[in-house]
Amino acid sequence: MTFLKSLATSKGDIASITAPPFILSATSLTEYSKFWAELPDLFVAPSMIVDPEERAVAVFKWFIATLKGQYTSRNEALGSEKKPLNPFLGEMFLGKWETDDEGTTSLVSEQVSHHPPVTAYAIFNDIYGVELTGYNGQKASVSTTTLNIKQVGHAIYKINKFDETYYITLPALHIEGLFYGAPYVELEGSTVIQSSSGYKVKIDYSGKGYFSGKKNSYKAKLFAPGGSSKPIYSFSGQWSGKSTIKDERTKSESIFYDATEHHIVPLQIKDLEEQSAYESRKAWSKVAAAVAVMDYDTIHVEKSKIENEQRALRKQEKEEGREWTRRYFSFVEDSESLKKLATDAGLVPDKNVWQFNRDAFESGPDKC
Contact with ligand CLR (CB under 6 A) among 4, 6, 18, 19: 19
What residues contact residue 267 under an 8 Å CB cut-off, 6+ apart?
Answer: 34, 38, 95, 96, 97, 107
d(CA 168, CA 153): 9
Does the protein bind ligand CLR through residue 354 (CB under 6 A)? no
Contacts with ligand CLR by CB under 6 A: the residue count is 21
**Which one of the spans 82-90, 216-224, 317-325, 337-345 is the region binding ligand CLR (CB under 6 A)?**
82-90
Closest distance of CB 140 from ligand CLR, Å? 7
Closest distance of CB 129 from ligand CLR, Å? 24
Does the protein bind ligand CLR through residue 341 (CB under 6 A)? no
Does the protein bind ligand CLR through residue 156 (CB under 6 A)? no
**Which one of the spans 81-89, 255-263, 288-296, 309-317 is the region binding ligand CLR (CB under 6 A)?**
81-89
Could you give the string, one character per residue 124-153, with x where binding to ligand CLR holds by CB under 6 A and - elsewhere?
------------x-x--------x-x-x--
d(CA 329, CA 161): 24
User: Which residue, 67 or 245, is less far from ligand CLR as judged by CB?
Assistant: 67
Does the protein bind ligand CLR through residue 43 (CB under 6 A)? no
User: Which residue, 177 or 198, is less far from ligand CLR as judged by CB?
Assistant: 177
Beta carbons within 10 angstroms of residue 163's beta carbon: 9
Positive or negative: CA dihedral 97, 103, 104, 105: negative
Give the closest residue to 231 by CA, choosing from 270, 258, 204.
Answer: 204
Give the three-state DSSP class for 310.
helix
Query: Which residues on adjacent β-strands are paired with residue 235?
Result: 220, 245
Does the protein bind ligand CLR through residue 212 (CB under 6 A)? no
Angle at the Cα of 213 (from 81 to 146), degrees rounded to 5?
A: 40
What residues contact residue 193 under an 8 Å CB cut-off, 6+ apart?
Answer: 56, 59, 60, 63, 166, 167, 168, 169, 200, 201, 203, 345
Contact with ligand CLR (CB under 6 A) among 69, 183, 207, 349: 183
Interface residues toward ligand CLR, by CB under 6 A? 14, 17, 19, 23, 32, 35, 70-71, 81-84, 136, 138, 147, 149, 151, 175, 178, 183, 185
